[in-house]
Structure formats: structure tokens, C-alpha cells
């Protein structure tokens, strides 16, 4: 305080005293505030960037595998009596032959010795239901192949494909076996006797597994103890826990394996045995791949194989894993770029499902939207900006256009349903109706952008045109509109990108149907890209998760391209006056 | 009092022109911007083949009056004009008259050079094209060349007619705008402070051009520079607060003004 009184000048003019401690504190505080503000900005930007990068990276990482697809390459015999029984090389007949049976036969030849209905069925499940589609087209195109054996690329099923992409189990092989293993048979149920206690460790780990499971049951029972309604359930849990305890409390008693434990197998004599019961030196199990003989295998010549992920937690069972591993070991499977994803329509089979139908649907929809939106939007904005008298009516129109831009899109969908479908009776699920609804949705955006672009053209240009005797319309169409066009195009493209990504209104007008065929016209049933994503995301097959992400990647690529074009247009034609 | 003086000076102006037929005649011209009475009872005769300068302080109504002569004020929705303006005896506010044809007869050059963002050639050719003045490409080329020559720009731009008009210097742009105005063959050229955005050298060129053009056109120029008015004009009109205070031969206005306000303005006491 004393400081201040001393610094007050005697004259009546107030001057700033930059040397005072207050002034210096003020300066410091100003610098601090500015620095803080800058850091807020950087932090906000960083958070946004991190979110964006994580989101996009997650989608790309998930979706990327769907752009590749695994196939098995097999020698498929094309006997004339099956493919062309009458021998007249009739295309329809050749096309009608059962190529899937031929493909299955080829697969059975590649993995010989599989017996039993269940095993054969599981072998056939490795192939997609459309596995032989390519082969059929090849043979139809080139009938000279009939009667020969061709190396064909057969599409694998979705689960087999996912397994090969790494969504299965890790496999460990233990080769340092100490005893001599003797199988009792080459197929069916076999017993393997080992001259030492090679299985002791497996037994210990199984017991430990059971102990953990029993503990979990016990905890669950204790949790439910106080609940009077759960009395019977608690009793069951306790009984099950007791059963498990009886097993794991006796360390050396033989055990059975179930689907909730890692699968243990014995690889010997060129075959593979899945263990179902085990003791220290003896294992019983089912043959998955037939053995060549019942000869003794010396220590180290046989292996204990473990599929670490329990069968119950996988989409492919032990037999399929075994078959796929055999095919892989023989270099018969290969991963190719999934062109079919871009050239086929939707399917219930994930490995056959493609995005072309949705892409074409979206394109048709956008064409309708653009054809309606651009002329109406531009004309409306020219009228409002250049011709309309400024009075309360134009004010109301302007307010309403701005309000329309904020109306939830589902409302436009309901409007489309009520007006276009119910009143005008236009076809359901058609890109025509979708485009009309999207046009309503995008129109306010385009009008607002176009008006802003027209307003940005300096009035001197219009005056110059009027000054040389151009009519108002000539002045606008010859001079103002061309200069506003980049801005209008930018607004239009952003509006179109909006329409491309919009889903909700399409649900209302029935563009959410499962449509296999690629739409050929504006009135045919179709679906759109975002709706396709929504549909796929809902399906239970795990392979569709990757398809969903892949479709999102495609949608994002289109959105980025459109927005990029808008930015490029703006940069390219931007004018400063 | 004000109106009294205004009427006196007008009658003097009209009488001093006795003998020659005026090109533009304004009688009791009033302009309102909404509630604002921007121009009050202006009556003036403007002779052909000469340069008439409008001078006066900012907001005095000289530009407003200029824009009445080609009905450019029509583009402002709140603007209302009463009274008569006649060009060659024809009332330009006659409802039967086509405003587009009028603007072809009365060209305009604006304060800031405003070439179209197109090529030099297209800038000049635009007017003749929309009015159908040219028969074929060679005729149009001819009009463009003549107009640029008259505007004193031909030598500077003849090798780059396809370059953008906005790429020229400020003075060249303004002469391009003059060429654009004369390309449609107007009778009257209105210039609204044509040199206010130009440097002294460019200004001198434009003034020289105005002097040459006066033999073919009736030129009316609004200017803030009294030296410019004295240099280029034969007659001068002084506006103040929406009133035409005094009009007469430039030499008289500058050496022997009859009104006190004119005297004060030209001697720099206000404005």
C-alpha cells in the first residue's frame, strides 16, 4: 500500500507505472494465462487425435484381414461321367453338375483314411458352400478340361479361414518324450502304452485345472448362500465342486479330458490321437488322423501335441484344426486378395459375402440425391439471395431452412415412409426413395452453403455486369454463379458425404432388407453401405465382425475421398478479393 | 433558406447553358433511402461532349445522383427516386423504358477497379456479346481492339489478351473497366471516383484518357479531388447535404463561386 501511494503522480493525468510490482505481476499473469491457454489447445488437439487414431487403427486392424481370404489348392478330377454325362458339351448341363461333390472328393483324397460320418462331415465343413464356384466357371469356359484333373483353388469356409488367420489356438509340440509308445490300433478308439511316466505332467496340470474350476464353483456357491431362492442351485454347485475335489485330491488316479481343457494329442506313426483319458503312462483316445502302423515308437520319435485353447472356446473343433494343420503343413492352403469382396453381393455365408450390392445401392441413392438436391438447392439459394424481397416471409423461410438442417434424420425417414411409400406408393427398399429422403435431408445443407458462397462474391462484380447493361439474371448466371460454384460444390460434396454415411432414414423406408443381388436400377430393392455395416454387425458368425470392419474401412475411404475432393476444390478455386 | 439558394443557383445554371441542347436533364430529382432523404430537389442540365464534375463532401449525395442517371439505385431495394431525368429528351424513369437498354446507353466506371475475373478479351467482349453488337468473331475482335485503343490500353495488353483481367495493375484495371464501358457504345459515361484507388501516375493516365474521351461522350465524374475536377472538367456541380448548391463552368466555380458554401469548400474550410 505504501508503495502505491508513493507512486501516484502529483498531476491529474493518470499514467501506467510499468515498474510497479502490481504491473509486473499483471504482466506475469498475462503470460501465464496465455501459456495456459496454449496448453489447453494442444491438450484438446492431442486428445482428439489420439481418439481418432485409436478408432481408425482399431477399425483398420480388425477389417484388414477381411480383404484376404484363404483357399485350399487341390487336384480335382473332372470325370466326364459326372460333369457331362451325355457328352454333348451342353453349357447348361456342364453348369448344372455337382462341382461341390468333386471338390469334396478331392479334399477326401488329400486327407485319406477319414472314417465315420461325423469325421467326414467335419472334413467337408472345411470347404465353403461356394468353394467350387470358380471351378464351375472355369470348366464352363473351357470344356476341354472335362475328363482331366485340374489344380483348383477351393474357397475355405469362414471358420477355417478365421483359424488360418490366427483366430484359433496356439499349438505346442513336446518332442522330448522318454518312453517307448505303443498304439493298439491305427484307427478308431486306441490305447497308447508308454514305457515311462511321460504323461505325469499332463495329469498334474489337469488336476490343477480341476482344482481351479472347483474353487470357482465353491466361490459361486458361497456368493449365493444367503439367497433363499437359490438353495437348490447352491446344492448342485456344491455337489459338482465335491465331485471335482474327489478327482483332484487323488494325484495319481487316471483322469478324463473334456472340452473345457486344452486338447492333448499324441503324434505317432504319421497319425494323430486325441487323448480322452490319461494316466501316468497310458492314454486312451480317438484317432483323428489314421496311423500307418501299430509299431512301437522310440523315445523322441513320438510327440505330445497340445492345442492350448480348449475346444469349447474355439469355432473350429479339434478335428478341423488337425485337418487344417495337415493341409497347411503340406502347403496346400494360401491366402489371396479377396476380390470377391468387391465383386459380389451380400450372402449368409461370410466367406461369400461382398460389398458390391451395398456400394451400387449407395451410388444409385447418391445419384438420385444429387440430381434432386443440386438444382433445387442452387435455384432456391439464388432466389433467396438475389431476387427475394427481404420481408417477414423470407425471414420465416430462412429460419425454417436453418431449422431443417437440425432435424434428426430419423424424422426424414418417417416422412419418407409416410409420403413417398404410403401416399405416392413408390417401391419399398428402392434407391429412388432413399435418394428422395436423402435429398430432403441434404437440401438445407446445400442451400445454406450455396447462399454463403453467393454472398461471398463481391457485389462489385454484379455491379460491373449491370453497369455494362447485363440483366440481373445475366449478371447472376454469367458472373456471380460461376464465382460461387466452388463454394457450392464444396457444400454439395459435404452434403453428399453426409448422405453416404446416413443410416437411420434408410431403416424407415425398408432399405435394411437382406438383398443378395446387386441392384440394376433405381426402383429395385437395394441396401446402402452404412446399412450393410449395420446388418453385418448384427450377425452371429464371427467372420462377419471382420467383414463389418472391412465395410467400415471402405465407407471411410469413400468419405475421405469425398471430403478430400471438397478440400481440393476449395483450395484450387479459392479466390481472394 | 437552403432551398431558396439552391433554386437560385439552378436557374442560373440553366440560363448559362442557353443555346446548346443539354444531353442529360434532371428536374426535381429526390432520392430516399428508407426514411432518409438523401437527395433533395436536384435540377441540372449536363451538356454533351464535355466533362461535368460533381464535387462535395462525403455523404453529400453526388454519388447517389450519379447512380440515378443509369438507374443503378434500382438495385437497392429500400431506395426510392422521384422527379424526372431525361436523356436526349427521353425520361429514363418512364415505366415503358427498359433499364437494361438504358444501362447500355449510360456506361459506368466504379470507384474500385472491378474487372471480371476473366481474360482481358472477355472483359471487353462481354458487353457487345450480350447486346449482340458484333457480327461474328472478327467483328468482336475489332470492337475489343478499338475499345482498348480508345482506353489507351491496347499497346500494353495486345500480346496478353487471354491473361486474366485481375492480373493487371490498378491503373490498367481501371482503364480496362473504361474500355469495357465504351465497348457497348454508350452515349453517357458515369465515373464514380475512378481514380481514388490509383496512384498519381495511373491517375494522370486516366485523366488524360477522360480528356480524350470527352469528344465522343458525355462524361460525368464524381471526384473528391478538387484539383482533378479543375483539371478534367468543363463544368462543375457542388453538392452539399443532398442539395445541389451551385453549378456552372469549372473556371467560374473555382475562381468566383456565388455561394458561400462553395467558397468554403473549395478553399478547404470544411469537407
* CB within 8 Å of chain A, chain B residues 127-156: 127, 130-131
**What distances in angstroms separate CA A198 from CA A98, A204, A259, A281, A551, one per listed residue?**
49, 11, 22, 6, 50
* Residue at grid coordinates 495456459: A36
* Residue at grid coordinates 462524361: B219
Please check whether residue A360 is in contact with residue A526, taking contact to mean a CB–CB distance below 8 angstroms: yes
Say if the Cβ atoms of A461 and B72 lie within 8 Å: no
Say if the Cβ atoms of A575 and B126 lie within 8 Å: no
DSSP line for B116-157: -SSBHHHHHHHHHHHHT--SSHHHHHHHHHHHHHHTT-HHHH
For residue A470, what is the nearest residue in chain B, using CA coordinates? B100
For residue B108, what is the nearest residue in chain A, using CA coordinates? A467
Is B37 part of the contact surface with chain A (CB cutoff 8 Å)? no
Give the closest of B70, B104, B114 to A461, CB-based: B114
pLDDT at B11: 42
Is B93 part of the contact surface with chain A (CB cutoff 8 Å)? no
Q: What is the DSSP letter of A229?
A: G
Say if the Cβ atoms of A466 and B180 lie within 8 Å: no
pLDDT at B150: 86
A40: region left, alpha or beta (phi > 0 left; psi from -120 to 50 alpha)? alpha
pLDDT at A34: 96
Q: Which residues of A touch B115 (CB under 8 A)?
A: 464
Paired sense of beta strands B188-192 and B106-109, if any: parallel
Is B42 part of the contact surface with chain A (CB cutoff 8 Å)? no
Say if the Cβ atoms of A460 and B110 lie within 8 Å: yes
Please check whether residue A128 is in contact with residue A162, taking contact to mean a CB–CB distance below 8 angstroms: no
* CB within 8 Å of chain B, chain A residues 558-577: 575
**What distances in angstroms separate CA A442 from CA A452, A453, A492, A494, one per listed residue?**
16, 17, 8, 9
For residue B73, what is the nearest residue in chain A, using CA coordinates? A463
Say if the Cβ atoms of B108 and A460 lie within 8 Å: no
CA-based nearest residue to B107, from A472, A458, A477, A464: A464
Of these ranges, A31-40, B152-161, B261-270, the one predicted with the greatest mean pLDDT is A31-40
For residue B166, what is the nearest residue in chain A, using CA coordinates? A577
Please give the average per-residue pLDDT across B17-27, as a whole number. Answer: 76
Q: What is the DSSP letter of B178?
A: H
Residue to test with chain A: of B69, B79, B100, B143, most A Cβ within 10 A:
B100
Say if the Cβ atoms of B126 and A466 lie within 8 Å: no
**Contacts from B249-255 at CB under 8 Å and sequence distance 24+?**
B249/B16, B250/B53, B254/B226, B254/B229, B254/B230
**What distances in angstroms separate CA A459 from CA A380, B69, B124, one per listed residue?**
19, 20, 19
pLDDT tens track of chain A, all 577 residues? 445 555 555 567 777 788 888 888 999 999 999 999 999 999 999 999 999 999 999 999 999 889 999 999 999 988 888 888 887 888 888 888 889 899 999 999 988 888 888 889 999 999 998 888 888 988 888 888 888 899 999 999 999 999 998 888 888 888 888 888 889 988 888 999 888 888 888 888 888 888 998 999 989 888 888 787 878 888 888 888 888 888 888 877 888 888 888 899 999 888 899 999 988 888 999 998 888 888 888 888 899 999 988 988 888 889 999 999 999 999 999 999 999 899 999 998 888 999 999 999 999 999 999 999 999 999 999 999 988 888 899 999 999 999 988 899 999 999 999 999 999 999 988 999 999 999 999 999 999 999 999 999 999 999 999 998 899 999 999 999 999 998 999 999 999 999 999 999 999 988 888 888 889 989 888 999 999 999 999 998 888 999 999 999 999 999 999 999 988 888 887 765 5
**What distances in angstroms separate CA B163 from CA A207, B41, B118, B155, B160, one per listed residue?**
90, 46, 8, 15, 5
CA-CA distance, A376 to A437, in Å (whole number)? 14
User: Does A277 or B268 have the greater pLDDT score?
Assistant: A277
Say if the Cβ atoms of B110 and A389 lie within 8 Å: no
Q: How many CB pairs under 8 A join A and B?
A: 65
Residue to test with chain A: of B97, B99, B103, most A Cβ within 10 A:
B103
* Residue at grid coordinates 475355405: A156
Q: What is the pLDDT of residues B228-248, one digit of tens each?
A: 999 999 999 999 999 999 999
Cell numbers representing residue B28 in the block: 426535381
Mean pLDDT lowest among A73-77, A305-309, B121-125, B195-199: B195-199
Please give the average per-residue pLDDT across B209-227, as a whole number. Answer: 91
Please give the average per-residue pLDDT across B204-209, as a whole number. Answer: 90
CA-CA distance, B55 to B266, in Å (whole number)? 9
Is A466 part of the contact surface with chain B (CB cutoff 8 Å)? yes
Nearest-Cα distance to chain A for B110, in Å, is 8
CA-based nearest residue to B177, from B202, B151, B159: B151
pLDDT at A7: 56
CA-CA distance, A342 to A215, in Å (whole number)? 51
Query: What residues contact residue A346 under an 8 Å CB cut-off, 6+ apart?
Result: A353, A354, A357, A358, A514, A515, A516, A527, A532, A535
* Residue at grid coordinates 461471398: A456
pLDDT at A424: 93
Q: Which residues of B touch A470 (CB under 8 A)?
A: 100, 126-127, 130
Is B32 part of the contact surface with chain A (CB cutoff 8 Å)? no
DSSP line for B51-106: EEEEE-STTSSHHHHHHHHTTGGGGSTTEEEEEEEEETTEETT-TTS-HHHHHHHE
Is B77 part of the contact surface with chain A (CB cutoff 8 Å)? yes
For residue B118, what is the nearest residue in chain A, using CA coordinates? A479
Say if the Cβ atoms of B114 and A468 lie within 8 Å: no
ipTM field = 0.86
CA-CA distance, A484 to A459, in Å (whole number)? 12
Beta bridge mates, A273: A266, A287
Nearest-Cα distance to chain B for A470, in Å, is 6
Tell me the three-class secondary structure of A131-199, residue by residue.
CCHHHHHHHHHCHHHCCCEEEEEEEECHHHHHHHCCCCCCEEEECCCCCCEEECCCCCEEEEEECCCCC
Residue to test with chain A: of B92, B97, B117, most A Cβ within 10 A:
B117
Nearest-Cα distance to chain B for A471, in Å, is 6
**Does residue B40 register a pLDDT over 50?**
yes
CA-CA distance, A168 to A159, in Å (whole number)? 9
Cell numbers representing residue B92 in the block: 429514363
Residue to test with chain B: of A388, A462, A464, A482, most B Cβ within 10 A:
A464
Is A394 part of the contact surface with chain B (CB cutoff 8 Å)? no
For residue B77, what is the nearest residue in chain A, using CA coordinates? A389
Would you call A91 helix, strand, or coil by DSSP?
A: helix
- Say how many Å lie between the first and final Cα of chain B, rounded: 21
Give the closest of B100, B116, B183 to A464, CB-based: B116
Give the closest of A460, A469, A575 to B103, CB-based: A469
Q: What is the pTM of this model?
A: 0.80
> C-alpha B264: how far from its chain's center?
25
Q: Which residues of B touch A389 (CB under 8 A)?
A: 77
Residue to test with chain B: of A467, A474, A485, most B Cβ within 10 A:
A467
Say if the Cβ atoms of A478 and B180 lie within 8 Å: no
Say if the Cβ atoms of B101 and A469 lie within 8 Å: yes
Give the closest of A462, A463, A468 to B180, CB-based: A468
pLDDT at B47: 92
Is B167 part of the contact surface with chain A (CB cutoff 8 Å)? no
Nearest-Cα distance to chain A for B148, in Å, is 15
For residue B183, what is the nearest residue in chain A, using CA coordinates? A468
**Does residue B13 register a pLDDT over 80?**
no
* CB within 8 Å of chain B, chain A residues 472-491: 472, 474, 478-479, 483
**Does residue B12 register a pLDDT over 50?**
no
pLDDT at A453: 94
Q: Which residues of A touch B177 (CB under 8 A)?
A: 464
Q: Which residues of A touch B75 (CB under 8 A)?
A: 462-463, 466, 472
Please check whether residue A288 is in contact with residue A322, taking contact to mean a CB–CB distance below 8 angstroms: yes
Give the closest of B72, B101, B117 to A466, CB-based: B72
Give the closest of B77, B116, B131 to A461, CB-based: B116
Nearest-Cα distance to chain A for B271, in Å, is 27
Say if the Cβ atoms of A464 and B110 lie within 8 Å: yes
Helices A392-404 + A431-456 axis angle, to 10: 130
Amino acid at each position: 500500500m505504501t508503495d502505491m501511494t508513493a507512486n501516484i503522480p502529483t498531476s491529474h493525468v493518470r499514467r501506467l507505472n510499468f515498474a510497479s510490482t502490481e504491473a509486473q505481476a499483471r504482466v506475469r499473469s498475462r503470460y501465464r494465462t496465455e501459456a495456459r491457454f496454449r496448453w489447453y489447445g494442444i491438450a484438446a488437439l492431442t486428445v482428439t487425435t489420439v481418439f481418432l487414431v485409436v478408432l481408425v487403427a482399431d477399425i483398420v486392424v480388425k477389417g484388414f484381414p477381411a480383404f484376404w481370404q484363404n483357399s485350399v489348392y487341390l487336384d480335382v478330377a473332372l470325370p466326364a461321367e459326372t460333369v457331362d454325362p451325355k457328352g454333348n458339351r451342353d453349357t447348361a448341363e456342364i453348369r448344372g453338375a455337382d462341382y461341390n461333390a468333386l471338390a469334396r472328393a478331392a479334399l477326401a483324397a488329400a486327407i485319406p483314411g477319414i472314417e465315420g460320418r461325423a469325421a467326414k462331415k467335419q472334413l467337408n465343413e472345411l470347404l465353403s458352400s461356394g468353394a467350387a464356384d470358380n471351378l464351375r466357371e472355369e470348366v464352363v469356359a473351357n470344356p476341354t478340361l472335362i475328363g482331366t484333373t485340374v489344380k483348383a483353388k477351393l474357397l475355405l469356409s469362414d471358420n477355417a479361414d478365421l483359424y488360418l488367420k490366427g483366430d484359433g489356438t496356439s499349438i505346442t509340440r513336446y518332442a522330448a518324450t522318454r518312453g517307448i509308445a505303443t498304439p493298439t490300433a491305427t484307427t478308431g478308439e486306441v490305447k497308447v502304452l508308454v514305457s515311462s511316466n511321460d504323461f505325469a505332467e499332463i495329469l498334474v496340470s489337469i488336476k490343477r485345472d480341476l482344482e481351479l474350476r472347483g474353487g470357482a464353483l465353491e466361490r459361486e456357491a458361497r456368493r449365493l448362500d444367503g439367497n433363499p431362492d437359490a438353495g437348490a442351485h447352491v446344492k448342485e454347485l456344491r455337489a459338482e465342486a465335491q465331485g471335482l475335489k474327489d478327482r483332484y485330491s487323488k494325484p495319481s488316479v487316471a483322469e478324463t479330458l473334456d472340452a473345457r481343457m486344452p486338447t492333448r494329442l499324441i503324434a505317432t506313426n504319421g497319425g494323430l490321437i486325441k487323448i480322452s483319458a490319461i494316466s501316468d503312462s497310458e492314454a486312451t483316445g480317438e484317432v483323428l488322423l489314421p496311423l500307418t502302423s501299430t509299431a512301437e515308437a522310440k523315445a523322441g520319435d513320438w510327440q505330445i501335441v497340445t492345442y492350448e485353447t480348449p475346444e469349447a472356446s474355439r469355432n473350429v473343433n479339434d478335428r478341423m484344426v488337425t485337418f487344417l494343420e495337415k493341409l497347411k503343413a503340406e502347403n496346400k492352403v494360401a491366402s489371396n486378395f479377396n476380390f470377391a469382396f468387391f465383386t459380389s453381393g451380400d450372402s449368409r455365408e461370410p466367406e461369400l459375402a461382398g460389398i458390391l450390392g451395398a456400394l451400387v445401392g449407395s451410388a444409385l441413392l447418391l445419384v438420385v440425391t444429387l440430381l434432386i438436391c443440386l438444382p433445387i438447392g442452387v435455384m432456391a439459394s439464388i432466389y433467396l439471395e438475389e431476387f427475394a424481397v427481404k420481408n417477414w416471409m423470407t425471414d420465416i423461410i430462412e429460419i425454417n431452412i436453418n431449422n431443417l438442417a437440425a432435424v434428426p434424420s430419423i424424422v426424414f425417414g418417417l416422412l419418407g415412409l409416410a409420403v413417398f411409400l404410403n401416399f405416392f406408393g413408390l417401391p419399398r427398399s428402392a434407391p429412388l426413395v432413399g435418394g428422395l429422403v436423402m435429398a430432403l435431408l441434404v437440401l438445407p445443407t446445400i442451400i445454406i452453403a450455396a447462399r454463403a458462397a453467393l454472398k461471398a462474391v463481391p457485389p462489385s462484380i454484379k455491379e460491373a455486369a449491370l453497369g455494362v447493361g447485363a440483366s440481373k439474371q445475366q449478371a447472376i448466371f454469367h458472373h456471380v454463379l460461376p464465382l460461387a460454384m466452388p463454394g457450392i460444390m464444396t457444400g454439395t460434396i459435404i452434403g453428399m458425404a453426409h448422405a453416404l454415411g446416413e443410416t437411420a432414414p434408410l431403416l424407415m423406408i425398408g432399405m435394411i432388407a437382406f438383398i443378395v443381388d446387386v441392384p440394376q436400377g433405381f426402383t429395385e430393392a437395394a441396401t446402402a453401405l452404412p446399412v450393410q455395416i449395420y446388418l453385418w454387425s448384427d450377425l452371429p458368425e464371427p467372420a462377419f465382425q471382420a467383414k463389418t470392419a472391412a465395410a467400415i474401412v471402405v465407407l471411410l475411404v469413400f468419405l475421405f475421398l469425398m471430403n478430400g475432393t471438397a478440400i481440393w476444390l476449395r483450395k484450387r478455386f479459392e479466390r481472394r478479393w | 433558406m437552403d432551398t431558396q439558394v439552391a433554386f437560385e443557383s439552378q436557374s442560373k445554371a440553366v440560363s448559362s447553358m442557353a443555346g446548346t441542347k443539354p444531353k442529360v436533364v434532371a428536374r426535381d430529382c429526390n432520392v430516399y433511402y428508407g426514411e432518409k432523404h438523401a437527395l433533395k430537389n436536384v435540377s441540372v442540365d449536363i451538356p454533351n461532349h464535355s466533362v461535368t464534375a460533381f464535387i462535395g463532401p462525403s455523404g453529400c449525395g453526388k454519388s447517389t445522383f450519379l447512380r440515378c442517371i443509369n438507374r443503378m439505385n434500382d438495385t437497392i431495394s429500400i431506395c426510392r427516386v422521384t422527379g424526372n431525368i431525361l436523356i436526349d429528351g427521353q425520361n429514363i424513369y418512364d415505366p415503358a423504358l427498359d433499364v437494361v437498354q438504358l444501362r447500355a446507353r449510360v456506361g459506368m466506371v466504379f470507384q474500385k477497379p472491378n474487372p471480371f475475373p476473366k481474360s482481358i478479351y472477355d472483359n471487353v467482349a462481354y458487353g457487345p456479346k450480350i447486346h449482340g453488337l458484333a457480327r461474328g468473331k472478327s467483328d468482336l475482335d475489332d470492337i475489343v481492339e478499338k475499345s482498348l485503343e480508345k482506353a489507351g490500353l491496347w499497346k500494353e495488353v495486345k500480346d496478353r489478351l487471354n491473361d486474366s483481367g485481375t492480373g493487371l495493375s490498378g491503373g490498367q484495371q481501371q482503364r480496362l473497366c473504361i474500355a469495357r464501358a465504351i465497348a457497348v457504345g454508350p452515349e453517357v459515361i458515369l465515373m464514380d471516383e475512378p481514380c481514388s484507388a490509383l496512384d498519381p501516375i495511373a491517375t494522370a493516365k486516366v485523366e488524360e484518357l477522360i480528356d480524350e474521351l470527352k469528344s465522343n461522350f458525355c462524361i460525368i465524374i464524381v471526384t473528391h479531388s478538387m484539383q482533378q475536377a479543375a483539371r478534367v472538367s468543363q463544368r462543375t456541380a457542388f453538392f452539399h447535404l443532398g442539395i445541389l448548391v451551385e453549378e456552372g463552368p469549372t473556371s467560374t466555380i473555382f475562381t468566383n463561386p456565388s455561394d458561400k458554401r462553395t467558397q468554403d469548400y473549395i478553399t478547404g474550410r470544411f469537407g
